[in-house]
């Protein structure tokens, strides 16, 4: 009679842990979205396709602000982290953001890229 209770305990632990980890992942994305919307969308657009007005005022080709382009998709996670933390061309470096925050932004950015790029 020992085995079933051990199994039940194990099952119960999984039953409790699984939703918790899903919840944590969801929370990470929500944090990333909040940061993206407040720190990046002004130039790159809420949908990561680029903000036309910003491009105009920066005197840039709007395509440069589109983060769903192939060149951006091809960059490694490490390169993107470095690029966002350190700035890139006309893009100001994001000194106020911690590496963890940048990581959660990039995670959220991936969901935008997936939503807009056809396979
Ligand atoms: C003030 C406007 C501005 C803000 C705010 C901004 N960016 Fe940018 N970003 C730019 C510009 C301009 C470029 C293009 C730079 C170039 O090519 O000279 C760029 C380029 C990039 C690139 C590289 C694109 C490529 O062509 O390889 C990434 C990735 C990126 N930004 C991510 C972000 C993220 C993430 C945030 C928020 C933390 C952010 N940016 C905030 C203006 C901005």
Spell out the domains of the chain, with CATH numbers in brackets.
2-116 (1.10.760.10)
| Stated pTM of the model | 0.83
Q: Is residue 72 within 6 Å of ligand 1 at its C-beta?
A: yes
Q: Which atom of ligand 1 is nearest to the CA of 40?
A: 37
| 8 A C-beta contact, residue 106 and residue 77 | yes
The contacts of residue 56 (CB under 8 Å, 6+ apart) are: 62
**CA atoms of 51 and 34, how far apart (whole Å):** 17
Q: Is residue 40 within 6 Å of ligand 1 at its C-beta?
A: yes
Ligand 1, from 38, 60, 73, 88: best to mutate by most atoms within 8 Å of Cβ?
88
Q: Is residue 77 within 6 Å of ligand 1 at its C-beta?
A: no
pLDDT tens per residue across all 119 residues of the chain: 566 677 676 666 656 666 656 666 667 799 999 999 999 999 999 999 999 999 999 999 999 999 999 999 999 999 999 999 999 988 999 989 999 999 999 999 999 999 877 55
Q: Is 83 exposed, middle or buried (0-12, 13-18, 19+ CB in 10 A)?
A: middle
Q: What is the 104 CA–ligand 1 centroid distance (Å)?
A: 16
């Amino acid at each position: 009679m020992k085995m079933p209770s051990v199994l039940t305990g194990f099952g119960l632990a999984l039953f409790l842990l699984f939703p918790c980890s899903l919840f944590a992942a969801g929370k990470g994305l929500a944090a990333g979205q909040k940061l993206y919307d407040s720190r990046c969308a002004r130039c790159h657009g809420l949908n990561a396709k680029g903000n036309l007005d910003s491009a105009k005022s920066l005197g840039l080709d709007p395509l440069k602000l589109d983060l769903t382009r192939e060149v951006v998709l091809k960059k490694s996670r490490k390169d993107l982290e470095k690029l966002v933390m350190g700035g890139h061309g006309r893009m100001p470096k994001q000194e106020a953001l911690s590496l963890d925050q940048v990581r959660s932004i990039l995670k959220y950015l991936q969901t935008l890229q997936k939503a807009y790029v056809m396979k």
